[in-house]
Amino acid sequence: MRMRRKKHREDRLENCSDIIIGNIMDYADDLGAVFEEPQKPLCLEIGCGKGTFITETAKKYPDVNFIAFEKNLDVAVLAVERAKAAGLSNVKFVTGNADYLKDFTCSSACERIYINFCDPWAKVRYAKRRLTHANYLTVWQKLLKEGGELHFKTDNRDLFEFSLNSFSDFGLRLKNISLNLHASGWEGNIMTEYETMFAAEGKPIYRCEVVF
């Protein structure tokens, strides 16, 4: 369902401009330079939604820097306001598409990439748009340090099966695979908005960690 345009969206985004990266391409050769303490480990979230996950994760790990991408401005405004209200200095936002990252010249910059409940692009002809397709795995591999990890969650079984095959074909190592995360007893999970909704409906959540 398409979200309605938020009232005063541009003004609200402007009020949070200190945690929004105006032009991410200015940091194409050094992502860490976005932060006042660039020496800290760096993690990315691709598609942060309303920001619950990235805000809670940044609270939990204050010695890690986080950059969250969200292309839908009506959703992004809620995420940046949430992080702003939390007074966090270790999270920044990009209100745009993660495809920018394909043109980055920096390498081995990130410790971890989070992809939570991304668009499954269900039709086969759109498979190359999936964030776990080999086209994107090449991008994530370049950005991640050796041994860096991609943490992936979805409610879509078909996408999860596709992703497991994609990771395997790419030669990546998988760990902590779960076909029903909330029944697995796995500790340390931070839920997204979608995850909370799906869990309330009794839907299984699929999760895995991928080592590059």
pLDDT mean for each 10 residues of the chain (212 residues): 75 95 93 94 97 98 97 96 96 92 90 97 95 97 97 98 98 97 93 94 97 98
Going along the chain from its start, the domains and CATH numbers come out as 9-211 (3.40.50.150)
Backbone angles phi, psi at 105, to 5 degrees: -100, -15
Instruction: Give me the helices (H) in the chain, please.
Output: 9-15, 52-60, 73-85, 134-143, 157-169, 193-200
Dihedral angle over CA of 83, 92, 51, 209, nearest 10: -130
Choice among 74, 103, 119, 158 that is catalytic: 119
Burial category of 24 from C-beta neighbours within 10 Å (exposed 0-12, middle 13-18, buried 19 and up): buried
Q: What is the pLDDT of residue 2?
A: 55
Active-site residue flag, 119: yes
User: Which amino acid appears at position 116 of this protein?
Assistant: N
Q: In the chain, pLDDT over 70 holds for what percent of residues? A: 99
CA 174 to chain centre: 18
Query: pLDDT tens-digit profile of 64-83?
Result: 999 999 999 999 999 999 99
Say how far apart CA 77 and CA 75 lie, in whole Å: 6
